[in-house]
Amino acid sequence: MNWAIDQLRDDVRFRTDVPRFDTPTAQSAYVTALREAVVTVLDDPNVTDRWARSLDATHHGRPYASLPHLDQVPADPDLTVRLTCPRARLDQNPDTGDWTLAAAGTAWDFAAPAGPLLTRLTTGQPATLGELAQQAGLPVADVAAALTALVQGQAAAVTGVGR
């Protein structure tokens, strides 16, 4: 219900003043409008999926300090990384092939070639930058740049060197 209430915050009917001092007819119309808005959210056949996707994407997981790599992940193929959010959501745009990773309350958009490295990360298992680069067919520097964004957003962490 908290999630549904959060969805309703975007609805103008929930942001208007309660007509406390208006006529009973106006007050009744106000309550009817609120009821309709609530029913609209809950009658959506995909409401459970929308709720689950939102919950997964906003779950902060277990933050892990990537010391000393807080600002930038160096292009070191031996660095080990992992996602810190076990409920991260990875979706591919069917039209463009691009990817969106939603985790730790943020969504990142990546070009299609990043798909294999993102898929590997969402398994929750640690991987080296070298392994991710090889799987994606990308330079280690590109993988490090992608991981830098995720580390800065606290969705991934550098966990060590090697395995």
Residue located via tokens 């929308």 = 50
- H, E, C per residue of 129-142: HHHHHHHHCCCHHH
pTM score of the predicted model: 0.65
Grade residue 47 by pLDDT with cuts at 50, 70 and 90.
Answer: confident
- List the structure tokens of 71: 């600002």
Distance CA 74, CA 148 (A): 8
Distance CA 46, CA 65 (A): 36
Helix axes 140-152, 129-136, angle to 10 degrees: 120
pLDDT digit string, tens, across residues 102-134: 888 888 999 999 999 999 999 989 999 999 999
